Amino acid sequence: MQAKTTISLLIAFVFFTSSGHIAAELGNMDKAEAQAKTKFDHIGLAQMYEKEANEMNAKVQEQKELLREYEEHSEYYGREGQDFQSHHEALLRKYSKAVERNKEMAASHRKMAGRVK
């Protein structure tokens, strides 16, 4: 019983620690955007957004591959197959939107870098 409690607390601790790190990283992004004044600041932000777009694009490709596998072998998935398919289609839409948004932000910062002297 004590082992289960310890494991549960450990899992909860890891979850809260990792989500706090993500929130801190997003807060740093907002701060970096607010403080960007030079051409090099905007170029750095553009590169960061392009990197994020590339990472999201890799996830898009992964979801497409999973969906292609499902379509080719849907009989292996049984009743849960439709849940699998809808879940991965939703992730595909989410990641695709993230790719587009990051590309837009990168283009925006490149444009700002061109305007700043």
Q: Report the percent of the chain where pLDDT is more than 90.
A: 47
Rounded CA gap, 80 and 45, in Å? 41
Same domain, 25 and 68: no
0.85 exceeded by pTM: no
Instruction: State residue 16's pLDDT score.
Output: 56
Same domain, 22 and 48: no
Same domain, 100 and 73: yes
Angle at 99 between CA 82 and CA 70, to 5 degrees: 20
Rounded CA gap, 85 and 67, in Å? 7
End-to-end C-alpha distance for the chain, whole angstroms: 65
Same domain, 76 and 100: yes
Same domain, 99 and 50: yes
Check pLDDT > 90 for residue 53: yes
Same domain, 45 and 87: yes
Structural domains counted in the chain: 2
Same domain, 24 and 42: no
